[in-house]
Chain A
Amino acid sequence: MTALPAPPASSRRSPLHLFRGQGALVALIVLVVFAAFRYDGFFSLYNASSFFRYNSMFLLIGVGMTFVIVTGGIDLSVGSTAAMGSVLAALASPHGAWAGLLAGLLGGLAVGLINGLLITRLRIEPFIITLGTFLGARGVAQLASNQAAVSVDSTGRFAALGQGDLLGLPVPVVVLLLVLVLTVPLLRSTRFGRTALSIGDNEDAARLMGLQVDRVKLGVYALSGLLAGLAGVVLAAQFGAGQPTEGVGWELTAIAGVVVGGTLLSGGRGSLLGTLVGVTLLGLVFNVLNFENGKGVISIDVFWQNVIRGVFLLVVVLLQARSARRSP
């Protein structure tokens, strides 16, 4: 069902029908246009590059979360896993940039595999399993770091993974683009991706059709863990230290971004590009608030930012709830 293209619009619909179900994209465009007119320097290379350098971490996690959510699952462990990945990467960074990268990736992959194995073998809700590893990964991060930030090796090139530029783009953005080049086709046009979507649509039916349900589920959690570990590497490289206490609430930011981007939490339908839009939109709200404070006309204190963030999530979710009801 969900693989079908949208039904053709009848001629008497308003031209706005093009934007149906694209509430997030509309909001993103509106916000960008508004900001471009209101703030000098919003469209500057510096702002764009620092915005995406920072938000690439959430985008990476959002990509993994999308795969998990289209199967009807959820991964609450990604924030803790990113923190753990950043600590492991920082600890390994004296052995070279590759060692740091590998340590973070392997750490994340390990958490993802544990999630996937427990979920497929024990048949317990992903919510509970990943709530467990949410605690567990945080514990490992604090044990490995002795509960303090771990400085990365400053003589090697590890820090370039977060702070450097490549072909005029921030390295984390290049990493993100590479990940997208691999994952967008993976979700859209491979057996793995189609199976993931079918699982979310109807897991029993997918099983009866002989699809490799358990293997694909294991795969999506492994991918989510791997990307969370990668986000941890970027975190450590960008801020020069492994951060055992960072990443709190990242899972919720990612889930919000995925949902705002139009992926159904119940599974079966999802789009990575939608996730990009959703996560970018939520990040941009902060960016705009910073510019607004910079203008000095009004000062929005940090507490209001949470309120605004919540209200914004509410508005986008309501917009989508309406459009979902109109086009069943």
Chain B
Amino acid sequence: MTATTDITPPPRTRAPFPVHRYAALIALLVLIVFNAVTTPRFLTVATLNINLTQTATIVIVGIGMTFVIATRGIDLSVGSLMAISGSIAPILFLNPVLGPNLGTALAFVLPILVTGLLGAFNGLLVTRFAVQPIIATLVLFIAGRGIAQVISGGQLVNFTQAGFTALGSGRVFGISVQVLIMLVLLAVAVFVMKRTLFGRQVVAVGGNPEAARLAGVPVGRVKTSVYVLSGLLAGLAGLIVIAINSSSDSNLVGQNVELDAIAAVAVGGTALNGGRVTMLGTLIGALFIQLLRYTLLVKGVPDAAAMVIKAAVIIVAVALQYRRR
């Protein structure tokens, strides 16, 4: 034990069966069983596909949000960033000068770079100027939607660009492209959190920023990076949403996504005050929220009542994990 400079946190002591750590998973399984018994044709590939494709964008944004929340931050700007990338892409692939091929290629890259840069801007505010994350990202939450509307002129853009819409409607081995992207990103994120120095640093910054700084963790750089990641992923999610819709409406793309993503992260078991991070939890949280929405829909519960139920269930799911900690 000469690990005086080792910043690795000691392994958590494990309870025999930590129910609270699996609260979201158990809740998800309960919903699945409930539907399997009461909803006709629930256990079909079609139903699975519907729910997975609906969840994909939330999970993709949620991965970035998990990184941000792991550092005790929050990113309210993701929905507006989605609208920005969604408003830039059509300008590129519909551009007669660039032509369809180059335009489509650029449409996959440039919008994501732009939102990544805007994420860096968020990070700069949080680190250099020590602005609280909720206010720092509120700036782009407000201004970002406006920027997207200015870019698109506030107009709905419809398009049929096979190369681009494959992102939303394409299938590989019967699985939607966006679901595959989600799974790949999730695998990478799990790997980064568990196996890389950066992942350890993220946990350290969220657990105790001062101690992390003293231990030599580049706190500023780590924090900036998580906002960049969140920006990049939000940009990608924006592209997927407009590809699914074959249209881009800067007024609507990404609306309330920040709330869904934060709820998914919290329900999944990542602590908002740092120290506990789980990427798979975010997937489970997002699936749970989506399946809850689906269940209420197929059971014919009116939208407004569904909202109240969703609110109560989110609080209960989070409460279950906190109580027995």
Contacts and interface: CB of A to CB of B under 8 A. Distances in A.
A132 B135 contact: no
B135 A135 contact: no
Contacts of B150: 303-304, 307
Contact of B138 (A127, A252, A306): A252
Counting chain B residues whose Cβ lies within 8 A of the other chain, the interface size class is 35 or more
A321 B135 CA distance: 12
Contact of A321 (B130, B259, B262): B130
Contacts, number: 131
Contacts of A324: 130
A311 B147 CA distance: 11
Given A125-B273, A147-B304, A307-B147, A132 B134 contact: no
B263 interface: yes
Nearest to B77: A310
B138 A132 contact: no
Contacts of B143: 306-307, 309-311, 313-314
Contacts of B108: none
Contacts of B319: 118, 122, 124
Interface string B192-236: 000000000000000000000000000000000000000000000
Interface string A33-62: 000000000000000000000000000000
Interface string A128-171: 11011111101111110001000000000000000000000000
A265 B311 contact: no
B264 to A, nearest CB: 12
A131 B145 contact: no
Interface string B128-165: 01111011101111111111011000100000000000
Contacts of A290: none
B310 A124 contact: no
Contacts of A135: 307-308, 310-311, 314
Contacts of A122: 315, 319, 322-323
Contacts of A138: 304, 307
Contact of A139 (B131, B140, B273, B308): B308
A139 B307 CA distance: 5
Contacts of B311: 132-136, 139
Name which of B135, B138, B323 has the most chain A CB atoms within 10 A of its CB. Answer: B135
Contacts of A311: 139, 143
B306 interface: yes
Given A128-B315, A139-B311, A143-B308, A255 B145 contact: no
A266 B149 contact: no
A197 interface: no
B135 A259 contact: yes
Contacts of A140: 304, 308
Main secondary structure of the interface of A (DSSP, over half): helix
Contacts of A142: 303-304, 307
B142 A124 contact: no
B272 interface: yes
Interface string A273-308: 000000000000000000000000000001111111
A256 B135 CA distance: 7
Contact of B146 (A129, A256, A305): A305
A2 B306 CA distance: 44
Contacts of B144: 310
A13 interface: no
Contacts of B306: 139
Interface in B280-321: 302-308, 310-312, 314-315, 318-319
B266 interface: yes
Contacts of A141: 304
Interface in A58-103: 74
B296 to A, nearest CB: 11
Given A123-B322, A132-B312, 16 more contacts: A74-B134, A122-B323, A127-B74, A129-B315, A131-B263, A139-B305, A140-B304, A140-B308, A142-B304, A255-B138, A256-B135, A256-B138, A259-B135, A307-B143, A317-B129, A324-B130
16 contacts: A124-B318, A125-B273, A135-B310, A135-B314, A136-B308, A142-B303, A143-B302, A143-B304, A266-B132, A304-B146, A307-B150, A309-B143, A317-B131, A317-B136, A318-B129, A321-B129
Interface of B: 74, 76, 125, 129-132, 134-136, 138-147, 149-150, 154, 259, 262-263, 266, 272-273, 302-308, 310-312, 314-315, 318-319, 322-323
